[in-house]
């Protein structure tokens, strides 16, 4: 009995150590740019951002070598290393090659957005390659459809009741999330009917961009982190760690600031929940895709006036 108690205490200490290290890493990597720019008034370039994040990752990897208690976090730090390195390469080197500078500065949505999505896809493919190395099977990192009718964990404040399946929950939230996104975009943008009509030729580019962006973000920033954290820190902490990283990363997104962080954190948590409970990416991708279709449509509307098609 005494030996079992000691093992239990030792296991609890290791779990606590991993949680502290994982949360500290997520918070520091996610917030240092915000603190530097918003609090200290400094300008953070892509190079300096990658340098700081890379240094944090190196410290984490060394820690997993020297401290056995946090060794299960090695795939987590390896993921960060690949993400930081590939993002630096793609967004400071590849985006300067060939016609990319011209495409990315083109005012037409059909040009700049698809160029941007091609760069994001490069990062995603590198992440998938890393996950195949450490997880070996695509089912282990949610690169499968999953059981789209799997039971959904009840959440009273969201109205998700015990016994409901993701077929019902996914359908309902597809409607309500899209309605909320559309309402926000209409109130914020108030496009004229003329612009709504003129955006129709952009719809193929909007749909393609939404397909690519939803896939890239779900695999790069959600499925990847859930897969390397779930076994180490447990399902719930893995879910909230991923949601925090995804949410804080939207501080400079749309919408901007604290509101953007809160909305993205909730969406990250909800879509991550769908992955964990269905063991696949289908619902997460579909719900994200719908929101992107609406957002990109309004972005395309915004590109009409200065650049046309």
**Model confidence pLDDT, tens digit, residues 274-289:** 999 999 999 999 999 9
pLDDT of residue 8: 60
Cα–Cα distance between 208 and 115 in angstroms, integer?
12
Instruction: Report which of 113, 143, 106, 109 is spatially closest to residue 127, judged by C-alpha positions.
Output: 143
Class of residue 69 by CB neighbours under 10 A (exposed 0-12, middle 13-18, buried 19+)? middle
Global pTM value: 0.92
Low-confidence ranges of the chain (pLDDT < 50): 4, 307-309
Q: Which residues contact 151 (CB under 8 A, 6 or more apart)?
A: 163, 164, 165, 166, 277
Nearest to 283 by CA among 291, 111, 127, 86: 291
Would you put residue 159 in left (φ > 0), alpha (ψ -120 to 50) or beta?
left
pLDDT for 184 = 86
Give the contacts of 66 (CB within 8 A, at least 6 positions apart).
none
In DSSP terms, 151 is beta-bridged to 165
- What stretches of 93-141 show up as alpha helix (H) in DSSP? 100-104, 109-135
pLDDT, tens only, 208-257: 999 999 999 999 999 999 999 999 999 999 999 999 999 998 888 766 78
- CA 59 from centre of chain: 23
Check residue 71 and give its pLDDT. Answer: 96
């Amino acid at each position: 009995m005494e030996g079992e108690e000691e093992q239990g205490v030792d296991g609890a200490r290791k779990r606590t150590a991993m949680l502290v290290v994982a949360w500290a890493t997520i918070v520091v990597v996610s917030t240092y740019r915000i603190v530097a720019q918003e609090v200290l008034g400094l300008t953070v370039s892509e190079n300096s951002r990658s340098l700081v994040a890379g240094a944090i990752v190196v410290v984490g990897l060394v820690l997993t070598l020297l401290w056995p208690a946090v060794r299960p976090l090695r795939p987590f730090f390896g993921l960060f290393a690949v993400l930081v390195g590939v993002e630096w390469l793609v967004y400071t080197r590849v985006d300067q090659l060939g016609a990319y500078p011209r495409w990315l500065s083109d005012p037409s949505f059909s040009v700049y957005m698809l160029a941007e999505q091609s760069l994001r896809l490069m990062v995603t493919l590198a992440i998938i390659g890393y996950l195949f190395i450490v997880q070996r099977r695509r089912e282990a990192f949610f690169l499968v459809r999953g059981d789209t009718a799997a039971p959904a964990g009840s959440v009273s404040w969201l109205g998700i009741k015990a016994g409901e399946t993701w077929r019902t929950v996914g359908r309902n939230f597809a409607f309500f999330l899209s309605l909320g996104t559309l309402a926000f975009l209409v109130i914020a943008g108030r496009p004229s009917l003329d612009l709504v009509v003129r955006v129709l030729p952009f719809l193929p580019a909007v749909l393609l961009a939404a397909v690519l962006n939803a896939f890239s973000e779900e695999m790069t920033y959600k499925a990847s982190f859930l897969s390397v954290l779930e076994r180490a820190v447990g399902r719930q902490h893995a879910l909230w760690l991923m949601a925090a990283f995804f949410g804080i990363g939207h501080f400079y997104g749309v919408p901007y600031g604290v509101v953007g962080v809160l909305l993205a954190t909730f969406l990250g948590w909800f879509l991550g929940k769908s992955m964990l409970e269905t063991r696949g990416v289908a619902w997460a991708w579909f719900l994200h895709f719908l929101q992107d279709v609406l957002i990109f449509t309004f972005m395309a509307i915004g590109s009409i006036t200065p650049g046309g098609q």
